[in-house]
Homo-oligomer: A and B are copies of this chain.
């Protein structure tokens, strides 16, 4: 198709950074389907299907399970701004960028963040949450990041969920880099609010934030003394369009993005959640074996490493900025830089959704071996690919 001034298309990239991840052709196709109106009966049917599939993905029966019309950070803001009122104490686990962002947003909601910090690369210890819950009671909510995209840490949630019920506190979980890639059980783990983004393990373009809100959180919303400070993110208004049979217009839904999410959710259901988690796990293990053979050091503590996002320090003496640039320019592979204290010290490699394939792991390890060999940083190639090959490839993809 002719484009203006014969403008070139964007370059082809293999997206192995912290998101966006690769998008399945069926999802790309869904984005290009002609639009219908946001109040068209046919669109209401699509909304129902999206909500049903999102509930199954979050493993929840929450009726209020919807995509917020913004990116993952809009989901974070929606999760907080609806429940936090002026002066509310909120315990926030901070062990990376996204915990810090949660705390910043709690403050902007007029809340009082109580930071529970761990070094970058370590989990938030449930005992520290328990101590804070006792010390600062009553606490409105505990907010933690399930998959810390800045460090690759996999936060265990079940103990924290039990603690929150015991202390009658809401549990808010950032599932941006976990939903559809790692086991997540909103109802089973006593999570009251969880949010995510579409451009990670769902492999949909960025622009929507799946959000689920349970009955305990809804009760807190209903008993607010002041209206939610955001009109755009006020779920009591949004629910009248998405959940209630009234279908009252709130804002124009991002039609094409909803088409894409619908198709991405169908792909998830066709694969099956257990198979999808297993695929992410085996490809992650293959990548980690290869990186280990090349001398990379994981930032996340042992036993708490994500299988969706890998944060590794390159071997000493490697120019990390040169490495990322060369991967992008010579091989068309995008990976992510370190953030905050890890800037200049780490790479972030995502194997999320469609990006999590054995072929992509091999493409990246093969490129790294060639680059390192050409620079004289290794003496012969093959060790990383061999190490990856020793990890059994059980996944169907």
Residues of B near A227 (CB, < 8 A) are: 107-108
Q: Given A32-B31, A229-B108, is A71 in contact with B251 using a C-beta cutoff of 8 Å?
A: yes
Instruction: Determine whether A161 belongs to the interface, using a CB cutoff of 8 Å to chain B.
Output: no
Q: Is the interface of A mostly helix, strand, loop or mixed?
A: loop
Count of A residues near B, CB < 8 Å?
79
Which residues of chain B are near A229, meaning CB under 8 Å?
Answer: 108-110, 229-230
Instruction: Verify if A33 is at the interface (C-beta below 8 Å from B).
Output: yes
A114 to chain B, nearest CB (A): 18
* A225 on interface, CB distance cutoff 8 Å: no
Which residues of chain A from 9 to 50 have a CB within 8 Å of any chain B CB?
A: 9-13, 15, 17, 19-20, 22-23, 25-26, 28-38, 40, 42-43, 46
Indicate which residue in B26, B40, B197, B230 contacts A230 across the interface (CB closer than 8 Å): B230
Interface bits A351-370 vs B (CB < 8 Å: 1, else 0): 00000000000000000000
Q: Is A326 an interface residue (CB 8 A)?
A: no
Q: Given contacts A37-B17, A73-B232, A105-B231, are A205 and B255 in contact (CB under 8 A)?
A: yes
Contact A29 B32 (CB under 8 A): yes
CB-defined contacts of A42 to chain B, threshold 8 Å? 10-11
Complex CA distance for A299 and B256, rounded to whole angstroms: 32
Given A108-B228, A255-B20, answer yes or no on A12-B34 (Cβ-Cβ < 8 Å): yes
The smallest beta-carbon distance between A299 and chain B, in angstroms, is 18
By the criterion CB–CB under 8 Å, are B7 and A266 in contact? Answer: yes
Please tell me if A207 contacts chain B, counting CB pairs below 8 Å.
yes
Q: Which of B1, B76, B228, B334 contacts A26 (CB 8 A)?
A: B1
Let me know if A135 is at the binding interface, CB within 8 A. Answer: no
A65 touches B (CB below 8 Å): no
Most chain B CB neighbours (cut-off 10 Å) among A32, A72, A107, A232: A232
Is A148 at the interface (CB under 8 A from chain B)? Answer: no
Q: How far is the CA of A47 from the CA of B12 in the complex (A)?
A: 18
Question: Is A328 part of the binding interface, using a Cβ–Cβ cutoff of 8 Å?
Answer: yes
B contact residues around A228 at 8 Å (CB): 108
Asked if A132 is at the interface of the complex by the 8 Å CB criterion, the answer is no
Quote the shortest CB–CB distance from A228 to chain B (angstroms).
7
Rounded to whole Å, the gap between the CB of A355 and the closest CB of chain B is 11
Q: How far is the CA of A76 from the CA of B10 in the complex (A)?
A: 31
Interface residue? A346 (CB, 8 A):
no
Which residues A224-273 have CB closer than 8 A to chain B? Answer: 227-232, 249-257, 259-260, 263, 266-267, 269-270
CB distance from A248 to the nearest CB of B (A): 10
Write the nearest CB–CB distance from A36 to chain B, whole angstroms.
5
Report the minimal beta-carbon distance from A44 to chain B, rounded to whole angstroms. Answer: 11
**Closest residue of chain B to A20, judged by CB?**
B35
A70 contacts chain B at the CB level, 8 A cutoff: yes
Distance in angstroms between the alpha carbons of A263 and B270 in the assembled complex: 33
Minimum distance in angstroms from A163 CB to a CB of chain B: 27
In the complex, A254 Cα to B257 Cα: how many Å? 10
Chain B residues with CB under 8 A of A77: 230-232
Instruction: Please list the 7 inter-chain residue pairs (A to B) with the smallest Cβ-Cβ separation, ordered nearest first.
Output: A207-B254, A4-B266, A32-B32, A73-B251, A31-B31, A205-B256, A28-B32
Q: List 8 contacting pairs A-B, 8 Å CB cutoff, sorted by A.
A: A10-B42, A12-B34, A73-B252, A107-B227, A108-B230, A199-B255, A205-B257, A206-B255
